Structure formats: structure tokens, C-alpha cells
Amino acid sequence: MAPIPTVTLNSGYEIPILGLGTWQSKAGEVVSAVEFAIKEAGIRHIDCAFAYGNEKEVGEGIKASGIPRSELFITSKVWSTWHSRVEECVDQSLANLGTDYLDLCLIHWPVVLNPNGNHPFFPTLPDGKRDVIHSWDLKDTWKQLEDLVKKGKVRSIGVSNFSEMNLEKILPTAEIIPAVNQLELHIYNPQHKLLAYLRSKTIRPQAYSPLGSSGSPLVADELVVKLAEQYGVQPTDILLGYLVANDIITLPKSVTPARIKANATGPIDAWAKLTKEDIEKLDGLAAAGKQKRFIMPPWPVDLGFDNWG
């Protein structure tokens, strides 16, 4: 099995271009999924988050794989109720994952939720809306992450779900430029303008929900099905290969062994087969009327994204 190619982050560290997503992977399924991904599918990159509530089981899967920690790339994310307590959040992720450092740690969302509200993860106000602290300055969250790099608890730091508007809130005072911005990226939400901005700042994009999230709805797209038939590959290979061809770090989630294996190998072959014209056609689908986001939590604030809502 050929190793999955890596790309270099602005921090100098290498990251495998394909990883395994773990959001909504049930505790009872994720241990064996992670073990299988590492042992049998050549996956070395696992995308986790404190808020997913399954990092302990992900850690068990990592341990069961028997692969040395130094060969793995593990990402976690600081949840919105922990912006004022970044180290506390990261320490819990480290303990759950059974490691003493993260390869990458992200701010999960550029929205701060009340740490003293009516729920530890999703506090709400009496009107049912999320209980957001509007006065918090995102650069203070970023500074805490920079301090964790200095302490050796995290190697690279980045953001997730940040528009240009929110990146501009941290970049002027940042000592460390974010290594990545993890975003919803796929054929129906390619965010071309934001990607050009990120590249101008050396920030690498990471694609979440590359298959359209739960149930992988994007596999039914007409052009994707046509290209898959033409090249004798799976529609998922076209969806993931398209992102990899655009130099985007891609994070498909699965708890199904055959799919985990297919997602780790197929896209690299598909990437080699896709022509410039194929990529241009896939790049143009959203502008031609198929623009769609699948992940739009009810944040009661403007995130500064095009095509939100």
C-alpha cells in the first residue's frame, strides 16, 4: 500500500493530504474504525474534536493500532465554550486521546459561547438561541493557542469555520500565522474567493464534509457519476480526488471498513486520472446553480461567509 502523500504546513510540519473524520462516529464504532484505518488502510491522520465526545474511544483505536505516535498526525479542536480556557480544553483532549501533544489544534468556530451558561457545550438563552458572548476578542483565544505551541502541547495551530472577516481579527496581532483553516469544502461549496485569500496568507485549506456529510449526498451528482463511470472509479473517488487535485487536505469520515479503505486509496488514483477540463467543470458546478452548504449550525451571529443561509 503506497503511503498517502503529505504536504507541508507553514509551521514546517508535514500533514497527510487525506485524513479520517470522526464527527458523529459513535463511541462503539470509532475504536475499531480508527484501528482499522491506521492498521489496514494506511491512514496516519485523524481529525478529532473535544466536542465530538468520542476522543477517548479514538485514543483507544490509536493505541490498538500499535503504530508509534510519532508516525501519526492528530488534530483536535477547542470548542466554543472554552475560548477563555483553551489549555483546559486541550488538556482534556490530550488525556482522552492518550497523547502528550497534538499535531494540530484548531479553534472550532469563531463564536464564543457562555462558559457559565445552562449547558457545558450548547448553552442557550431563554429564547432558545445559543448563548453567545459578543464581547470576547478572538485574538485572545489565538494568543492562548500560541502559548500552547511554546509549551510543546501542540505543534501547529489553526482555525476552522473562519471567513476572511474573522481571520482579519487575529492576523494583525498573530505571532504565528494559522497553519490551516478547516472549512466545508466540496463541489457544491468550493469557496474559490476564500481559498485564494488563504493561499495569499500561506494558510492551507482543509475540507470537511467532502462527501456532503451524513449519507454522502454528493455521490449522486450527475457529473460526478459520469466521471466515475468514464474512469472506472467510485463517485467518492471523484469527490475526494477533486479536492486533493486542488491541493486541499481532505477529511472523509467513515466507520465502515471497506469505505475507509476505499477513501484512503481511490482518491489518489482518481486525482491522477482527472484532467484539467474535468476539474474546471467540477469547479464550476456551484456557480452554475448547485451552490449548497450542508453544515449550518444556528449561530446567532454573522460569520462573514458568502452563501450562508
Q: Give the residue ranges of the annotated binding site for substrate.
A: 108
Beta carbons of 167 and 141 less than 8 angstroms apart: no
Q: Which residues are annotated as a binding site?
A: 108
Selected catalytic residue, list 52, 188, 208, 231: 52
Q: What character string, x for contact with ligand DGU (CB under 6 A) and - otherwise, covers 29-68?
A: --------------------x-x-----------------
Set of cell numbers at residue 68: 508509534
Give yes or no: 231 in active site. no
CB burial readout 248-258, b (16+ within 10 A) else e: bbbbbbbbeee
Question: For residue 23, how far is the Cα from the chain centroid?
Answer: 10
Q: Where are the beta strands (DSSP E) in 194-278?
A: 204-208, 249-250
The residue type of 169 is: K
Residue in 4, 9, 15, 23 binding ligand DGU, rule: CB under 6 A:
23
Residue 251: name its binding partner from ligand NDP, ligand DGU, none (Cβ under 5 to 8 Å by kind). ligand NDP
CB 20 → ligand NDP: shortest distance, Å? 8
193 phi, psi to nearest 5 deg: -65, -45
Q: What angle do CA 165, 295, 205 make, to 5 degrees?
A: 50
Q: What character string, x for contact with ligand NDP (CB under 6 A) and - otherwise, covers 48-87?
A: ----------------------------------------
Concatenated DSSP letters for 72-106?
-EEEEEE-GGGTT-HHHHHHHHHHHHT-S-EEEEE
Question: Please, which residue, 175 or 302, has the CB nearer to ligand NDP?
Answer: 302
Q: What character string, x for contact with ligand NDP (CB under 6 A) and - otherwise, covers 118-157?
A: ----------------------------------------
105 touches ligand DGU (CB under 6 A): no
Question: Please, which residue, 16 or 212, has the CB nearer to ligand NDP?
Answer: 212
Residue in 67, 133, 295, 303 binding ligand DGU, rule: CB under 6 A:
295
Residue in 297, 301, 302, 308 binding ligand DGU, rule: CB under 6 A:
297
**3-state DSSP assignment of residue 268:** helix
Beta carbons of 76 and 48 less than 8 angstroms apart: yes
Q: Which are the catalytic amino acids? A: 52
Q: Enumerate binding residues for ligand DGU (CB under 6 A).
A: 23, 49, 51, 295, 297
